[in-house]
A and B are shown apart, each in its own frame.
Chain A
Amino acid sequence: MSYTLESKQLEAIEDLLQHDLIDMGVTCVILIDMAGNIIANLDSGERKHDIYSLAALAAGNFGAVSAMAKIIGEEEFSLLFHKGKKENIHFSRVAEDFLMVSIFGNDVSLGFLRLKVAETIKAIRSILEEITGQ
């Protein structure tokens, strides 16, 4: 089994991530699927992260947290966020099968980030609905 997106869908997604998140001060955004594949990734050019490892760990982490939610009778946890000294990381589900990982510094507030992420996800959802599978 495999799936693909059209170039123009990917371009639209990347434009969104650039305008709504990177241009707003977010350091790095990665859109991945639940298998850990990278769909899109953008960064502000300040720092280069090992995005393949990040994607694998984020997908695993999200899967583990979802499984924990089920065990305690929750559908899912709505806020997945880790705070560091300088960098923070935020996870958000996009539709059924995708996950958005945002890395941002302390100059961006969590409230603002969540708002921006929610807007972006809404827009990405409508782009992804045209997904072409096999």
Chain B
Amino acid sequence: MAFINPKTKEVQIKIVYYGPGRGGKTTNLEYIYSKFNHRIKSEMVSLKTHGDRTLFFDFLPFDIGKVMGHTLKVQLYTVPGQVKYNATRRVVLRGVDGIVFVADSMKVVREKNLLSLKNLHENLKDYNRSIFRVPLVLQYNKMDLAEQGIPLLSYERLEKDLNTQLKVPSFPASALRGTNVAKTLKKIISMTLPSLQRNLKKEVVN
């Protein structure tokens, strides 16, 4: 849940990257960190295994501009995608304002996307939140692999699999190359803003 501080004129929002293991969540944050490092004052925090798999979360805070006279501080998190880490995954989800679901476009992992989305649905329910009401964007990652002849799920297939009921914005992407990484982020931030408006307006009036 976003926090608006009228004293420092800051708004803090929490965006979580969710999705199956090895889907490219951490790669999204690494790209953002390298691309926008002039705006990012602190180091990216990564709690990971020796094999570079996320163990608990990655964390990247940065200032992204102003909303109604307040500095918008966005806190980006990733969850560990591996099935066995559900307990820590659930911890990271607490108080989330917006979610980017990073799906893996490779044909061989189709089932994993479905299971991960179902798991998101269940974990949100544990916090009495509905996947249909939390701001959510889908990202179909690793589209660049088509060039290497690796069989990918088509955009239409992914939409049918994951977005038939949700009907949320979705982007084909390559986190490795940065294709649509910033676009995905911009979209999810803009979707979380309406939930701030009422509290911000009240404060501007005061």
Residues 70-92 of A, flagged 1 when their CB comes within 8 A of B and 0 if not, give 00000000000000000000000
Q: B176 an interface residue at 8 Å Cβ cutoff?
A: no
A105 on the B face (CB < 8 A)? no
Judge whether A108 is part of the interface by a CB distance below 8 angstroms: no
Q: Are B59 and A53 in contact, with the CB atoms below 8 A?
A: yes
A35 touches B1 (CB 8 A): yes
Interface residues of B in 27-66 (CB under 8 A from A): 42-43, 45, 47, 56-57, 59, 61
A67 to B95, CA, bound (A): 16
For the complex, is A109 an interface residue (Cβ under 8 Å from B)? Answer: no
- Interface segment, one of A5-13, A16-24, A118-126: A5-13
Q: Shortest CB–CB separation between residue A43 and chain B, in angstroms?
A: 15
B6 within 8 A of A: yes
Q: Which of B18-26, B161-169, B193-201 contacts its partner?
A: B193-201
Does A64 contact B91, Cβ atoms closer than 8 Å? yes
Asked if residues A35 and B7 are in contact (CB atoms below 8 Å), the reply is no
A34→B61 CA distance, assembly (Å): 16
Number of interface residues of B (CB under 8 A): 36
B104 at the interface (CB under 8 A from A): no
Distance of A39 Cα from B12 Cα, bound (Å): 10
Whether B6 and A5, one on each chain, are in contact in the complex, defined by CB atoms closer than 8 angstroms, is yes
User: Would you give the shortest CB distance from A64 to chain B, in whole angstroms?
Assistant: 6
Query: How far apart sit A3 and B6, CA to CA, in the bound complex (Å)?
Result: 11
Chain A proximity of B41: nearest CB distance (Å): 8
In the complex, A10 Cα to B45 Cα: how many Å?
A: 28
Residue on B with the closest CB to A35?
A: B95
> CA separation between A3 and B5, bound complex, in Å?
9
Closest to A50 in B: B42
On whether the beta carbons of A2 and B2 are closer than 8 Å, the reply is yes
The answer, yes or no, to whether B87 is at the interface (CB within 8 Å) is yes
Known A-B contacts A1-B2, A4-B203, A53-B61; the reply to A37 vs B45 at CB < 8 A is no
Q: Are B7 and A11 in contact (CB under 8 A)?
A: yes
* A38 in contact (CB, < 8 A): yes
Chain B residues contacting A33 (CB-CB under 8 Å) are 1, 3, 95
Task: List chain A positions with a Cβ less than 8 A from chain B.
Answer: 1-7, 10-11, 33-39, 50, 52-53, 56-57, 59-60, 63-64, 67, 134
